[in-house]
Amino acid sequence: MKLYSDQSGRAPSPRRVRIFVAEKALELDVIDMELHTENRTEAFRKKNPLGNLPVLELDDGLCIAESMAICRYLEELSPEPPLFGSTPLEKAVIEMWNRRSELAFYLPIEYAGGFLGEKVAEGARKRVARMLTLFDAELATRQFIAAAHFSVADITTKVAIDFGVRFNDINVPDELSNFKRWNAEMNERPSMAA
């Protein structure tokens, strides 16, 4: 299998998959592409008509796009460790927190960059601040975002906050000590360098 990813390592969606792959200790051929150029060619659009990264190309040439679709496929092939959960309840709770992180944190962090205008960016920053407070409260009673172990919800949240801090001037207030503890622990995981 081949994983088409971004050459810079900065794009959050490809990074989610690289972290997931590292946590699973899977070996894939990674094809690093220059973001917004190589993935926009007609040749690449045959793999993904939207021209987005990441894309997982199977040995038979079939291509799977979208980071969570790729991660779910890899989870089915290699269920250990169970990053989407192992019991019905655990799977549901991890899905709930992953969706919250994607829709109420990851997307607003992208919008906070201002590419849709300052009014949208201001509203997005408020949503990010609310989610940081919620994550901090939840992390007061557990080590990880969604379960008793590391999960895909931790990956989504970590990729989002790293992107926000690095590129969109998102700051984590000092009083959010539980979130800061979680973030520091995530930084210690070898997979985060993927």
Which burial class, exposed, middle or buried, applies to 62 when counting CB atoms under 10 A from its CB (0-12, 13-18, 19+)? Answer: exposed
pLDDT for 149 equals 97
pLDDT single digits (tens) 143-164: 999 999 999 999 999 999 999 9
Which residues of the chain does CATH 1.20.1050.10 include? 88-193
Homologous superfamily (CATH) of 2-77 is: Glutaredoxin (3.40.30.10)
Q: Model pTM?
A: 0.96
Where do the CATH 3.40.30.10 domains begin and end in the chain?
A: 2-77
Q: Which CATH code fits 88-193?
A: 1.20.1050.10
pLDDT, averaged across the chain: 96
Report the alpha-carbon distance of residue 82 to residue 68 in Å, rounded: 14
Residue 117 region by backbone torsions, left for phi larger than 0, else alpha for psi between -120 and 50, else beta? left
| Long-range CB pairs of 161-165, under 8 A, 24+ apart, other chains included | 161/105, 161/109, 162/12, 162/15, 163/10, 163/12, 163/109, 163/110, 164/109, 164/112, 164/128
